[in-house]
Structure 1
Amino acid sequence: MYPDPTRRRPRLVAVSAIAVAALTLTACGPDITSAGSEAASDRLQAPTAEQPEGEITIWDRSGDLFEVFDAVIDDFNEKYPDITVNHQAVDIDAKLQNTLITGTDVPDGVFLDDAMVSGYADYLWDLSDVLDPYVDDIAPQKIDANSFDGGIYGVPYDLDPGLLFYNAAALEDAGVDVSAIETYDDLLDAAKEYQGVNPESHPIHLEQSGFLGQLQLEMYASQMGTSIADADGELRLDSPEYKKILTFLDTVQSEGLGTRAEYLTPTDIAELENGNQVFYPWAIWFSFAPQQLLPETSGDWKAMPLPAWEAGGARSGAMGGSSFVLPKDGENSELAWLFYEFLMYDEAGYSAVWGPNDVYPDGLNTSIPAYLPAADPKSPLFEPVEALGGQDLWAVATKAGAQIPAGTSIPPWWNGAAEYLGNDIQRMLDGDLTPEQVISESTDAIQKNLIDRQ
């Protein structure tokens, strides 16, 4: 039995999709880095008292994940009985920027999308020192995503490996052997084979949202160890890797192999349920769909690693993710660090977050921990997923996550880039641009309108 979907849906929309509401910020990211804050290199230090005491204010989004974190507070207080946690459900995208600018009622800790961390870096503690005992055991991609200008500004929360979800029942009926899918060329061949049996089908999902389309593009790029910008924030769209990805997407569209729809909208769901759309390359959080939104095909779906771009290449890339940040103007940021340290690096904490609980009776199965000792393929924190035919999603996701290449920091203008790159991908899928034109036009627009204006 799964929880009420009205409780689960906010987590999937707000967290896993990197909060589309973030687009309400300025196009170049939050314009707060020039205000009178301390140097961004200031490093937080852990408390030295044997029994630290005080009150901390922690901001999280409302919804089921808030309830999960809230339930861990009692366990935290068994270890730190003199720290009171004031846990608040907040519209972070609406409140955080102005709160940091004014310095009024600043929280000690905040749940934040990875794509927004660098834009707030000047107002956050550099966590390099407190993370030092753990950094070698955290997924490299997550450390890189939270790094900016020599510091680490977020406590990595989740790892969101890309997986290939597929309708196993429909594909078996069509005689398609999914075990033969090892590369994206193999995926095209499998889609053609399925379409040969089901002529009305368009087997592969093509994302129609500009924002999520850009997020998925970065998942594909992550597999090849690249991203929209390098470690210095320089654009690198003009590369063989991005040309290969865009050519693949263009091929899926031009050959009629793709269903264009926005992620889990009614049209998308209908095409999943009727067997027209049977391949969904997406982050682990797509597992929400068979559990809550696909009653007719629930149990038919399974997950496997993404195809590789080249034989022997990485079989997963990162798609989305969140972390915890600690504002410098919080009154007790060092105590908030103890709370996040418990959540992420103490077995009692991370087991309570991802393991079976009142909110998720079978465990939280829409992400895996970024802390590698917690993401042990042989020690599952959540149960096999009935809606995936009883598949051990933990084993699939943790093995895929281990293949994600290291990356770079996410530039402050990442969200704003969707207005250009995300939209240009859609223009390509409309037949109005070639892959080369997407690269050229998006590069020029992002450089001129976002990077040069910082």
Structure 2
Amino acid sequence: MRIRPLVAGAATVASLAVLSGCGAASADPEGPVTLEYWAWPAGSKTVVDEWNAANPDIQVKLSDAGGGDESSQKLLTASRAGNAPDLALVEYTTLPSLIVADVPLEITDYVGDVQDAFTEGTWAQTTFDGAVFGVPQDVGPMALVFREDRFEELGVPVPTTWEEFREAAAAVKEADPDSVITSLPPTEFGFFAGVATQAGGQWWSVNGEEWSVGIADEASLEVADYFEELATEGLIQTEPLLTPEYNAMVNAGTMLSWPSAVWAPGVIESVAPDTAGSWAMAPLPQWTPGDTAVAYQGGSALVVTKDSEHPEEAAKFATWLNASEEGNTLLLDEQSLYPASSLGQEMAESNDPPTLMPQQDDFYAVSADISAQTVPVTWGPNVNLAKSVFEDELGKAIRNGTPWRDAFVATQDAVVADMKETGFAVSDG
């Protein structure tokens, strides 16, 4: 398969409609400053309690806003009403659309001194047109989580390239027709965006004020063809993940891997705790042998909103949590997150491995190696629409036996039409 060279470097998303200004520093308050903080990870209350105990002049009040699309929509609604919190946790996929909506504040002047605490690819997740709109909190470097015992039992080598993945999938099916190497349903939008980026695709990019959409670029279409062939040959499933049927296969040892990210062990353990000790993690297979760069799948950043009356204090909390030793200890021990900062990832190496794979002592060392070579997926302003169309169109292609690449093309067409209708300049090239 011909794959274009990987495009590395910082994500630049210039002129996301109107970029908010840096905002004036808050006036000296009478008494302690109180910051409203929206987050969802378990352990967030402990984080806030630790901060409040050590910072009597800057107190943080936590609200659980839920995660995912629900959280970003609630934040957008609150911002439009002029009562957004001072701080909010935001997934990387939704940050560009929130910048377009003028929700987060540019905080370059407040957080620029902690940039070196993150890799270039990680910092790029929150940096647009040279302006910083958040502090990275956790990341999901893509990786392969697999049933180590079943691979050994069937005599199937762990794949290091996607071509070897195809060979491994065929070997699994031949050795045990009741088993399958993985399931990749249409709902795995983040996975397909990640492996397309790994192959050199750019689903969104911008030059000046003109956007380009590459969901149907050549690299991405070749990725679509590759996984379509695996599905057509019966080497992978396309059934939804984490359903009772899927979970039964995971527990029975007949679902042998999950190409996903370093956060996957916790998810698997939640549905198949009795399989602990049978799993391991390896780097994601490569499109080009020797090219170790992979994309992120998942992760979030802490933003300061334009409604905050205390942006400097809010940014201070964000940098403490995500760039200090104390904050990263809390991310690891209380929130079970994989930290975005290089410091946090180094600290993780002294932690015990996930309980799903207690035998893999090098889990966090492998994770750090992968993370050091990740590149960001450049998300656009209408990710939610893209995700919805992609899931519908790919599901239709699978049901009707039509080319998967048609789903990528249909998604691109819908995304471009929506961006033009919304007022973005979009290249037709």
User: The TM-score by the shorter chain falls in which range?
Assistant: 0.7 to 0.9
Q: Tell me the TM-score normalised to structure 1 length.
A: 0.80
Preserved CA contact (<8 Å) 1:57 1:107: yes
Aligned to 1:281, which of 242, 259, 262?
Answer: 259
Q: Which residue of structure 1 aligns with residue 80 of structure 2?
A: 101
Residue 396 (1) aligns with residue 376 (2): no
Residue 207 (1) aligns with residue 182 (2): no
Residue 190 (1) aligns with residue 168 (2): yes
Preserved CA contact (<8 Å) 1:44 1:334: no
Preserved CA contact (<8 Å) 1:207 1:262: yes
Residue 374 (1) aligns with residue 333 (2): no
**Whole-Å separation in 2 of the counterparts to 1:451 and 1:144:** 25
**Whole-Å separation in 2 of the counterparts to 1:52 and 1:150:** 35
Aligned to 1:222, which of 197, 219, 225?
Answer: 197
Which consecutive residues of structure 1, in runs of 5 or more, have no partner in the other structure? 1-32
Q: Which residue of structure 1 aligns with residue 118 of structure 2?
A: 138
Alignment of 1:184-333 (within 5 A): 184-209=162-187, 213-232=188-207, 233-314=211-292, 316-333=294-311
**Whole-Å separation in 1 of the counterparts to 2:417 and 2:56:** 53
Aligned to 2:354, which of 385, 395, 402?
Answer: 385
Which residue identity is paired with 1:229? W
Preserved CA contact (<8 Å) 1:368 1:398: no
- Kindly provide the CA deviation profile for residues 287-342 of structure 1, in whole angstroms up to 9, marking residues without a partner as x: 11342211342221111000001111125321021111111112222211111111
In structure 1, the residue corresponding to 2:285 is in which secondary structure? coil
Alignment of 1:105-184 (within 5 A): 106-121=84-99, 122-178=102-158, 181-184=159-162
Report the CA distance shift for 1:46/1:74 in structure 2 as closer, same or farther (over 3 A).
farther
The alpha carbon displacement at 1:177 in A equals 2.1
In structure 2, the residue corresponding to 1:422 is in which secondary structure? helix
Preserved CA contact (<8 Å) 1:225 1:406: no
Report the CA distance shift for 1:269/1:368 in structure 2 as closer, same or farther (over 3 A).
same
Report the CA distance shift for 1:295/1:433 in structure 2 as closer, same or farther (over 3 A).
same
**Whole-Å separation in 1 of the counterparts to 2:47 and 2:26:** 21
**Whole-Å separation in 2 of the counterparts to 1:131 and 1:225:** 31
Preserved CA contact (<8 Å) 1:138 1:370: yes
**Whole-Å separation in 2 of the counterparts to 1:261 and 1:299:** 26
Q: Which residue of structure 1 aligns with residue 406 of structure 2?
A: 437
Which consecutive residues of structure 2, in runs of 5 or more, have no partner in the other structure? 1-15, 424-429
Q: CA RMSD in A?
A: 2.6
In structure 1, the residue corresponding to 2:298 is in which secondary structure? coil
Residue 87 (1) aligns with residue 62 (2): yes
Preserved CA contact (<8 Å) 1:413 1:451: no
In structure 1, the residue corresponding to 2:213 is in which secondary structure? coil
In structure 2, the residue corresponding to 1:206 is in which secondary structure? coil
The alpha carbon displacement at 1:244 in A equals 2.2
Aligned to 2:322, which of 344, 360, 370?
Answer: 344
Give the % identical residues. Answer: 22
The alpha carbon displacement at 1:107 in A equals 1.2
**Whole-Å separation in 1 of the counterparts to 2:415 and 2:243:** 29
Which residue identity is paired with 1:136? D
**Whole-Å separation in 2 of the counterparts to 1:206 and 1:265:** 13
Which residue identity is paired with 1:255? E
Report the CA distance shift for 1:395/1:451 in structure 2 as closer, same or farther (over 3 A).
farther
Preserved CA contact (<8 Å) 1:227 1:407: yes
Q: Tell me the TM-score normalised to structure 2 length.
A: 0.85
**Whole-Å separation in 2 of the counterparts to 1:161 and 1:404:** 7
Preserved CA contact (<8 Å) 1:283 1:319: yes
Report the CA distance shift for 1:177/1:45 in structure 2 as closer, same or farther (over 3 A).
farther
Which deviates more, 153-162 or 196-205? Answer: 196-205
Report the CA distance shift for 1:208/1:190 in structure 2 as closer, same or farther (over 3 A).
same
Q: Which residue of structure 2 aligns with residue 40 of structure 1?
A: 19
Point out 4+ residue stretches in structure 1 off by more than 4 angstroms.
Answer: 44-49
- Kindly provide the CA deviation profile for residues 30-61 of structure 1, in whole angstroms up to 9, marking residues without a partner as x: xxx98xxxx63412577798x99411111123
In structure 1, the residue corresponding to 2:204 is in which secondary structure? coil
Residue 71 (1) aligns with residue 46 (2): yes
Which residue identity is paired with 2:91? D
Q: Which residue of structure 2 aligns with residue 424 of structure 1?
A: 393
**Whole-Å separation in 2 of the counterparts to 1:99 and 1:379:** 35
Aligned to 2:383, which of 395, 414, 417?
Answer: 414
